[in-house]
């Protein structure tokens, strides 16, 4: 059998001969020969829009300029990307965008990482050719969400956010409203993003080319806590932070900076630098036990009230998504809090007791790859310690800003280690940062608890649950069970893994229709899992996310302990404080309930 090769198109770009497959755009062809064409509305994760007109090019024989991002190549095209006509049009388009853009760049959160600012500098836009229309527009700023600030005065209407919310997340909290000069990016009935179906995932922030969508930052509040001698500041750091932080501090994509990150946090004046991976391991103990308990009740006790498949609950964007769109499936969610919130509850109870501290004086700070974690920390359910369990959530980007503010030379920092008491973790905790990681960590522990043997995968690497496919399925045959788990002998555990809410929706529709034959489902709201979270360094694309993914698994393989149930500090906390998984204290501190957000 012979495979038919795609037709090849031959053309010239700025005098350079190029040969590409039919269907390739001019922009893609130009990249192949290292010719840079500027863009604003284009993003590799999204469909083509072609509405900013910054990528205009001149095609010989064509009366008008063409958008390189949207125009497919044709045989014998002769394209000019830097002619006088192109440069003049490009410059005028940038100037038109600036005429409706609040250009107080030095006060903007995106100053220094703004695509429009970079283009204005590159094209030396020093004079105002067009009237400044900003004062006439009566722009609004939505700052009610604890996660996201939406500033219409900085929006250039490229619609990246709209496409992100619809194509990647299937949420459609943002859409285009009105026409002509009144056109804007808005929400349902122009309500605050806090009051609509927005999941606070922050994917729109990651793709916004300007400062129209940014995270709500809590940098000054954390500095105030550090400077307050009456406060004891405890920091937890999520697994995906350590493989992305370096990107904002001069390192290559996917560099593992765990030791330097810990060293930097201590230099900032943090009293105790601990690890969210510890409570990731704890989550596996609670969630794994919960899954096995549900299976026993369903298979042995024939309890028809048990909801299967059980679904993970550590992604707050996913939780808000299911609360809005599939509230009938809320009983399927694990009752476990996320590792962030488990940590917060324990920081002001167990940790406070161990350190002989008044929990009133503990300031619990988490460093997360996720903007939805800010919303999660503000949920009224997250106060089981008697206080707000997590006081402030900073994104990876915010931590990078603090390190720069402190004048720390990150590259020259020595490697340091997390402090003790909730600072020890395993490789299973680390892989929570990647899609499939929670599932893999759970299977590593649950299989061994049931059989007394390690999972039947080389080097503990459960490769079927790994990868960047939107939806993955994997099955594990349980054999050689211990006597107390004999009812699981010969059972094939069916699992599904989805990342990105558009893929979560596909899986949920299967479950809701009764067509899904799964026992356990892992959902992560963001593309690639937490490593592609809305609080990670900008830019993001599939290549960057893959490098972070690879770093996560390198970190796992380098850990001395790679199974959650073997974490000595987890063993200790059960012995001293929690007693047992799903016990009374665990129920009070580590588990929660959810809200049907379709009810008003």
CATH number, domain containing residue 329:
3.40.50.1780
CATH number, domain containing residue 12:
3.10.20.740
| Residue among 154, 348, 373, 472 flagged as catalytic | 373
387-402 confidence digits (pLDDT tens): 999 999 999 999 999 9
- 74 domain residue, yes or no: yes
- 2 domain residue, yes or no: no
What domain range is 373 assigned to? 230-600
Please say if the pLDDT value at position 241 is more than 90: yes
Instruction: Tally the domains of the chain.
Output: 3
- 221 domain residue, yes or no: no
287 as an active site residue: the answer is yes
Q: Helix (H, G, I), strand (E, B), or coil: what is residue 553?
A: helix
344-365 confidence digits (pLDDT tens): 999 999 999 999 999 999 999 9
| Residue among 28, 167, 381, 473 flagged as catalytic | 381
- 174 domain residue, yes or no: yes
| Residue among 100, 290, 440, 522 flagged as catalytic | 290
Residue 431 sits in the same domain as residue 379: yes
Task: State how far the Cα of 43 lies from the Cα of 31, in Å rounded to an integer.
Answer: 14
Q: Give the pLDDT confidence score for residue 3 in this predicted structure.
A: 41
Residue 287 sits in the same domain as residue 370: yes
Residue 347 sits in the same domain as residue 309: yes
Q: Give the pLDDT confidence score for residue 138 in this predicted structure.
A: 84
Phi, psi torsion values for 13, nearest 5 degrees = -125, 115
Task: State how far the Cα of 559 lies from the Cα of 557, in Å rounded to an integer.
Answer: 6
Please say if the pLDDT value at position 194 is more than 70: yes
Give the model's confidence band at 7: pLDDT under 50 very low, under 70 low, under 90 confident, else very high. confident
| Packing angle, helices 219-227 and 396-405, rounded to 10 | 50
370 as an active site residue: the answer is no
Q: Give the pLDDT confidence score for residue 125 in this predicted structure.
A: 86
| Residue among 110, 336, 530, 555 flagged as catalytic | 530
Residue 52 sits in the same domain as residue 152: no
CA of residue 106 relative to chain centroid, distance: 27
Q: Which of 215, 247, 282 is the last residue of a domain?
A: 215
Residue 160 sits in the same domain as residue 211: yes
Q: Give the pLDDT confidence score for residue 225 in this predicted structure.
A: 98
Q: Give the pLDDT confidence score for residue 181 in this predicted structure.
A: 85
Residue 423 sits in the same domain as residue 491: yes
22-47 confidence digits (pLDDT tens): 999 999 999 999 999 999 999 999 99
CA distances from 343 to 38, 350, 396, 492, 575 (A): 44, 10, 18, 33, 17
Residue 371 sits in the same domain as residue 519: yes
310-338 confidence digits (pLDDT tens): 999 999 999 999 999 999 999 999 999 99
Sort strands 56-59 and 232-237 into parallel, antiparallel or unpaired. Answer: unpaired
The DSSP string of 422-478 is S----HHHHGGGSTTHHHHHHHHHHHHHHHSS--SSGGG--GGG-SS-SEEEEEEE-
334 as an active site residue: the answer is yes
Residue 355 sits in the same domain as residue 235: yes
Please say if the pLDDT value at position 575 is more than 60: yes
Mean pLDDT, the chain, rounded, equals 96
Q: Which of 82, 112, 143 is the last residue of a domain?
A: 82
Residue 383 sits in the same domain as residue 259: yes
Residue 112 sits in the same domain as residue 39: no
Q: Give the pLDDT confidence score for residue 204 in this predicted structure.
A: 98
Please say if the pLDDT value at position 2 is more than 60: no
CA of residue 276 relative to chain centroid, distance: 15
Q: Give the pLDDT confidence score for residue 5 in this predicted structure.
A: 57
- 1 domain residue, yes or no: no
Q: Give the pLDDT confidence score for residue 470 in this predicted structure.
A: 97
Task: State how far the Cα of 526 lies from the Cα of 317, in Å rounded to an integer.
Answer: 8
| Residue among 263, 334, 364, 366 flagged as catalytic | 334
Give the residue-averaged pLDDT of 265-284: 98
Strands (E), 276-347: 310-311
Q: Are 162 and 176 within 8 A, CB to CB?
A: yes
Q: Give the pLDDT confidence score for residue 332 in this predicted structure.
A: 97
Please say if the pLDDT value at position 1 is more than 80: no
| Residue among 58, 287, 323, 440 flagged as catalytic | 287
Phi, psi torsion values for 574, nearest 5 degrees = -70, -40
| Residue among 52, 108, 314, 336 flagged as catalytic | 314
Please say if the pLDDT value at position 6 is more than 80: no
Phi, psi torsion values for 474, nearest 5 degrees = -150, 145
Residue 251 sits in the same domain as residue 180: no
* Token pair listed for 565: 């149930």
373 as an active site residue: the answer is yes
- 222 domain residue, yes or no: no
Q: Which of 164, 184, 215 is the last residue of a domain?
A: 215
Q: Are 355 and 519 within 8 A, CB to CB?
A: no
| Residue among 376, 448, 522, 569 flagged as catalytic | 376
Phi, psi torsion values for 468, nearest 5 degrees = -110, 10
Residue 386 sits in the same domain as residue 488: yes
55 as an active site residue: the answer is no
CA distances from 327 to 16, 332, 518, 595 (A): 56, 10, 19, 8
Give the model's confidence band at 127: pLDDT under 50 very low, under 70 low, under 90 confident, else very high. confident
CATH number, domain containing residue 172:
3.30.70.20
- Start-to-end CA distance of the chain, whole Å, equals 61
- 58 domain residue, yes or no: yes
- pTM for the model stands at 0.95
150-168 confidence digits (pLDDT tens): 999 999 999 999 999 999 9
479 as an active site residue: the answer is no
Give the model's confidence band at 133: pLDDT under 50 very low, under 70 low, under 90 confident, else very high. confident
- 138 domain residue, yes or no: yes
């Amino acid at each position: 059998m012979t495979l038919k090769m795609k037709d090849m198109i031959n053309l010239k770009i700025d005098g350079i001969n190029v040969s590409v497959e039919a269907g390739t755009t001019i922009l893609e062809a130009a990249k192949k020969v290292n010719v840079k064409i500027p863009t604003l509305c284009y993003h590799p994760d999204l469909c083509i829009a072609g509405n900013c007109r910054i990528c205009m090019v001149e095609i010989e024989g064509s009366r008008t300029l063409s958008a390189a991002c949207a125009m497919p190549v044709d045989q014998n095209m002769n394209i000019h990307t830097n002619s006088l006509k192109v440069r003049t049009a490009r410059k005028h388009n940038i100037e038109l965008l600036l005429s409706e853009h609040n250009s107080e760049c030095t006060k903007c959160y995106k100053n220094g990482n703004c695509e429009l600012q970079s283009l204005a500098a590159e094209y030396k836009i020093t004079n105002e050719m067009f009237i400044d229309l900003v004062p006439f527009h009566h722009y609004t700023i939505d700052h009610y969400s604890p996660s996201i600030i939406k500033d219409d005065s900085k929006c250039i209407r490229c619609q990246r956010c709209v496409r992100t919310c619809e194509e990647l997340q299937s949420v459609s909290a943002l859409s285009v409203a009105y026409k002509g000069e009144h056109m804007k990016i808005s929400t349902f009935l122009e309500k605050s993003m806090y009051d609509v179906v927005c999941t606070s995932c922050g994917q729109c922030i990651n793709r916004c080319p300007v400062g129209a969508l940014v995270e709500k930052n809590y940098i000054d509040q954390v500095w105030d806590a550090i400077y307050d001698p009456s406060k004891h500041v405890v920091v937890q750091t999520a697994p995906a932070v350590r493989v992305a932080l370096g990107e904002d501090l001069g390192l290559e994509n996917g560099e593992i900076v765990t030791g330097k990150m810990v060293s930097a946090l201590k230099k900032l004046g943090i009293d105790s630098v601990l690890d969210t991976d510890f409570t990731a391991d704890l989550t596996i103990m609670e969630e794994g036990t919960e899954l096995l308990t549900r299976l026993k009740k369903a298979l042995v006790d024939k309890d028809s009230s048990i909801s299967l498949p059980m679904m993970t609950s550590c992604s707050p964007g996913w939780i808000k998504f299911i609360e809005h769109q599939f509230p009938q499936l809320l009983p399927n969610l694990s009752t476990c809090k996320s590792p962030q919130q488990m940590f917060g509850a324990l920081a002001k109870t167990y940790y406070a007791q161990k350190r002989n501290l008044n929990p009133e004086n503990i300031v619990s700070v988490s460093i997360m790859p996720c903007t939805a974690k800010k919303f999660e920390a503000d949920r009224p359910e997250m106060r089981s310690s008697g206080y707000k369990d997590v006081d402030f959530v900073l994104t990876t980007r915010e931590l990078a800003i603090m390190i720069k503010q402190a004048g720390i030379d990150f590259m020259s920092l020595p490697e340091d280690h997390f402090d003790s008491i909730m600072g020890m973790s395993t490789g299973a905790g680390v892989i929570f940062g990647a899609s499939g990681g929670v599932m893999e960590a759970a299977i590593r522990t649950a299989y061994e608890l049931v059989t007394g043997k390690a999972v039947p995968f080389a080097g503990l690497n459960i490769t079927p649950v790994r990868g960047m496919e939107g939806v993955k399925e994997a099955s594990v045959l349980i054999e050689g069970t211990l006597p107390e788990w004999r009812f699981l002998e010969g059972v094939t555990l069916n699992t599904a893994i989805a990342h990105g809410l558009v893929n979560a929706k596909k899986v949920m529709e299967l479950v809701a229709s009764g067509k899904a034959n799964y026992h356990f489902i892992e959902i992560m709201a963001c593309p690639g899992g937490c490593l592609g979270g809305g609080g990670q360094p900008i830019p993001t694309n599939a290549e960057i996310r893959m490098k972070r993914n690879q770093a996560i698994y390198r970190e796992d393989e380098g850990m001395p302990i790679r199974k959650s149930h073997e974490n000595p500090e987890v063993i200790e906390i059960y012995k001293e404080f929690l007693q047992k998984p799903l016990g009374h204290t665990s129920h009070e501190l580590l588990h929660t309930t959810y809200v049907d957000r379709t009810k008003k």
